[in-house]
Structures are given as C-alpha cells and as structure tokens.
Amino acid sequence: MKLSPLQIARYQYQPKLPGMLRGGISEICVKVGDATQSVADQEKIQALFPNTYGKNEITFQKGKNTAAGKKQVVGVILSGGQAPGGHNVICGLYDALKATDKENVLYGFKGGPSGLIDDDYIVFDDEYINAYRNTGGFDIIGSGRTKLETEEQFAIVAANCKKHGINALVIIGGDDSNTNAAVLAEYFAANNSGIQVIGCPKTIDGDLKNEDIECSFGFDTATKTYAEIVGNIERDANSAKKYWHFVKVMGRSASHVALETALQTQPNICLVGEEVAAKKLSLAALADYIADSVAARAAKGWNFGVAIIPEGIVEFVPEFSMLIAEINELLAGAKADVFNALPTWKEKYAFIENGLTKEAMAVFAILPENIQQQLFLERDPHGNVQVSLIESEKLFSALVKANLDARKAAGTYHGKFSALHHFLGYEGRCAFPSNFDADYCYSLGYNAFMLIQYGYTGYLSKVSNLQAPAEEWVAGGMPITKMMNIERRHGADKPVIRKALVELEGAPFKFFEANRAQWAVETCYVYPGAIQYFGPSEVCDVTTRTLALEKA
C-alpha cells in the first residue's frame, strides 16, 4: 500500500500522556474519590444496576502500583459511527497492556458489537498496531451499530470471552454504546463471569459530555476539519461576492458541532437547535431572521454570506416536530402501503391533505415540494420519518428566498440572492486526528488498561483538565451509571446516558450570542486553515473554542 508522506510522519508521532501515567506502569496507584449516584432517577437506576451502581470515582497518581499481578487478556470493539482518534485508543490500550507484561493479549473484535457475538476477531501484534498509529478511521477492525441489550446476546458474549480466556472488554463508543457497556457490565457482575467492562467516550457530535467528561473524542478533529472548509467557503464568498452559502453540519440531537464551527469561523448566521426549541421559533421566524441578515448586507452592497445549519435543526422547530409526528401516524401500519401505491405526487398530496390536521397542513404547505417529498422517503426501522434525509440547508435557503421575494414585491428589498448548498458530514469522521485527539485518545486507551488492571468494571475511562497541556491532564475513571437517567424509548422505560445538549447559559453560547448580531451584518470571517501537526504548541495542540470558553 502506497503511504502518503503525512501518514509516514504520523506513524512516528509519540502521543503525550498525562503526567501521572508517565514513567512506567509500576509507578501508578489509585486515589479513591467519592461515591456516586445517577444524574436522575436514582432509585430506578440503582434497582437496575445493583452490582455496579454507586461506585466511587477514582483518579490515578504517582505511587507504588498495588494491582494484583496476573496475565491480562482483553477484548476491544469500536461501536457506532467513526470518529477521529479511535485507532489511538486501541494503540494506547495495547501499549499499556504490553508494557505491563509482554505475554498480555489484546483481541480486536471486527465490525463492532456483532464481532463479539459472531466471534470474529484478530489478535493484535506490534506490526498490525503500528500500521494504524495516529491515523483516522475505524478500519483497524471496523465498527457497527448492533446493540448489545438482550440476555441471550450477553450469554453469547460471555461464552466467547471464556473461550479465549478474556477477562475484560473495552467498548469504544458514544452514549448508546456506553449505555450498553453499563448493562453488559451489570450482567457479567450479576453472573460472576469474571469479565470486566470499560467504556471510552466517543462521538464527534459532542453530546457525550458532562462535568466529568469534558469532551468526547473526535469532536476536536471533526470541528477543525469543518471549520477549515467553512473558512475556505467564507474566503470564496468574500472573493466572488455573489453567493449565500448554506452549510449543513453534523449533529442531529445537539448543535455542538454547528456552534463550535461558528466560534472558529464567525459566519453571518448559525442556527442553534437548542435555542430554537427553547424559544419555540417557527420556520417563518427563522427564515425572517436569516432574511434580515441578507437584506442588511445587501444594503451595504454585499450580496453574499455564510449560514451554518445543524443537521437536526428541523426536529427542534415545534411546528415541524408536530408535522413529523402526524406524518408518522398518517403512515402507520397498512396505511403506508396505500400511500405508496398511489401513482402520482398529486394523488399522494391529496392523501396527505386529507390526513393531516389543519395546523400540520399549514406547515406542510409552505415547504418546497422537494422537501415535502423528502418527508415521505424510506422510513426508519420503526416506521418514522428519517429526519437526517431532509436537506435542511436547501429548506432554509428556499424559505429565505420566498421571504425576500415578498420583501422585493413590497419594495423593501432590492438586493440579489443566489444560494449554494453544502453538507459537511463524512468529511470529518475519519480525518487524521489532531494532536489533541491523538494525545487524548491514546491517553483514554492507556488509562482504560489501568482501570482493568485495578479490577474496575462498569467504568468510563476519564481524562480531564483538557484545556491545560497534556502533562497536567488528570486520568481516572467514573462509573457509567453516574451519567444515566430513565427515558422513554420505543414504548418502554430504558436506562440511558443523558445526552448533553448545548447549554444556553454556558460560556460558549453566551460568547456566540454576544457577537452574532455583528457577524450577521458585518464581514467578520475567520479563516482557520488546515489542522497543523508540526510547529508551536499554541498552533498544533490548541483545543476547541468550546472547551477554552468553558474552562476560561
């Protein structure tokens, strides 16, 4: 395989560890912290996790290693969507394991959780691991979205682990994957299987965070990748001076990616879903807000701009959520077959008009026809609208055009409006990890092994104080149950890790809120450029604006 010069150079990069993890495994001891409880629904969560609930937080520090010496055979999986740095979690885990005892073994199960069930694996060695150090992607073993949630699955996983002598599993994933890790850890503990489970916090969406988990891995690299592209688009817009660019970025359930990209690039518009929901803003109000910026800039002779749109924005608009709920009900069961059998869009439109309430139909009617049709594309496995398929960037540019046309007819707008559209998603998921993510992920993996060596289970590998240089990072672990609450999922109460949404009272949003009026009218663009791997620390190791503002 032909290697790029950057790939060759990145193989040789040595990730930085927190100070307490440097200098040798034999010099790392545990400091036990306070007992924990779940973020909500304490009695219910404790009842569901009697063997793993309420455990203490821990941190590692310099001192004599008091862990019992034994051969460690560990399994690892990547779960869910890709995020930059996943390879380094595995490399850190492998290096710590081998530094303790060369006879220790690391199994990588292929294709995510299904690899544990199908017993599809590879045994890592130096040559295999070295080919993936500091690189993007999850191709080292692949990933998958199979959920580990039934006792039948747990029993199969336990049997496969027993067959290989595996005493611990590391699950690298997001909130759903780590919820599954907690449930699996509880099952193993209840059945005295002798198998530990450790989680690692991954998701570029940034919604697996709290007072303990300051940042999920991959978020830094992905947002820097998107910010580079948005900065390039801004430079082009400022050069050509004739297009409004509507840029959709990843983030269905939370707007962290959109907000961070905006903080790095200072576009004219950035919608934040959490604010839309809190203020109950309508599609018309949002279109009017963007059109105000277009008109104000046109009055200065600037018929160009950049707007950032979160992927899941429409789900935060109350009237749109109502429409989606009614469509889901309209096409429930056999009614979907009746609808799909109609030969023309005109007949389907009549079916829709007859089935929706007057309020829902009023929302549906103002949508561009292509967006109307996207609402009736292939359903998800539960029969619901796949909101991610809706081209919200095109929806908002169409609504803004209609708004401006009305202003022009009324004689209050005299500018030009031409829209271009972009969706930034997969471009960021497998990028070469930034130095921050390379260091952070390696530390998470190394730290995960320390949790295994000291016998912990149902814990999340935790590295904090991330705004400081890596030497000052704090490594330790927290019970996954601390992050859990009860939510209604598919008609049943389920224990899940609470998603972290953008905090409207938090420092990152407040900074954005204080500056966006100026950004909307003026040209305040920032051009971040490409991720830098070599050079001064303030260029190469700087973390996100979100984390910097939160920890200021």
Strand ranges for 162-223 from DSSP E:
168-173, 196-201
222-428+506-550 has which fold?
Answer: Rossmann fold (3.40.50)
Averaged confidence pLDDT in the chain? 94
Q: Determine which helix (DSSP H) or strand (DSSP E) holds 541, and give its type and residue range.
A: none
Q: Determine which helix (DSSP H) or strand (DSSP E) holds 510, and give its type and residue range.
A: helix 507-521
- Which DSSP string corresponds to 335-374? HHHHHHH--SHHHHHHHHHHHS-HHHHHHHHTS-HHHHHH
Domain 17-218+433-489, CATH 3.30.565.40 — does that match?
no
Whether 252 shows a pLDDT value over 90: the answer reads no
Of 211, 161, 291, whose CA–CA distance to 500 is shortest? 211
Residues 490-544 have pLDDT tens digits of: 678 899 999 999 999 999 999 999 999 999 999 999 999 999 999 999 999 999 9
Strand ranges for 63-137 from DSSP E:
73-78, 105-109, 121-123
Catalytic residue, chosen from 95, 175, 176, 205, is 205
Quick one: pLDDT band at residue 489, thresholds 50, 70, 90? confident
Q: What distance, in Å, lies between the first and last C-alpha atoms of the chain? A: 45
User: In whole angstroms, what is the distance from residue 244 CA to residue 124 CA?
Assistant: 49
User: In this structure, is the dihedral angle defined by the CA atoms of residues 3, 6, 7 and 8, taken in order, positive or negative?
Assistant: positive
Q: What is the mean pLDDT of residues 273-287?
A: 96
Q: In whole angstroms, how far apart are CA 138 and each of 132, 250, 294?
A: 9, 18, 41
More confident site: 380 or 417: 417
Residues 368-412 have pLDDT tens digits of: 998 999 888 876 665 667 777 789 999 999 999 999 999 999 999
Q: What is the mean pLDDT of residues 461-481?
A: 97
Whether 92 shows a pLDDT value over 80: the answer reads yes
For residue 328, the model assigns a pLDDT of: 86
Structure tokens at 125: 């060695």
Q: Catalytic residue at 205?
A: yes
Report domain extents, the chain.
17-218+433-489, 222-428+506-550
Least confident of 152-166, 204-218, 486-500: 486-500
Whether 1 shows a pLDDT value over 80: the answer reads no
Residues 307-348 have pLDDT tens digits of: 999 998 998 999 998 998 899 888 887 788 899 899 999 999
Strand ranges for 83-164 from DSSP E:
105-109, 121-123
Q: Provide, rounded to the nearest whole percent, the portion of the chain with pLDDT above 90.
A: 87
How crowded is residue 151: how many other Cβ atoms within 10 Å of its Cβ?
10
Q: In whole angstroms, how far apart are CA 37 and each of 41, 60, 96, 185, 209?
A: 9, 21, 30, 17, 17
Phi-psi label, residue 55: left if phi above 0, alpha if psi -120 to 50, beta otherwise: beta
Quick one: pLDDT band at residue 211, thresholds 50, 70, 90? confident
Whether 183 shows a pLDDT value over 70: the answer reads yes
Residue tagged 């005892």 (tokens) = 101
Cβ atoms 220, 440 nearer than 8 A: yes
Structure tokens at 63: 């001192």
Q: In whole angstroms, how far apart are CA 414 and each of 289, 299, 394, 411, 528?
A: 17, 8, 22, 7, 33
Q: Do domains 17-218+433-489 and 222-428+506-550 have the same CATH topology?
A: yes
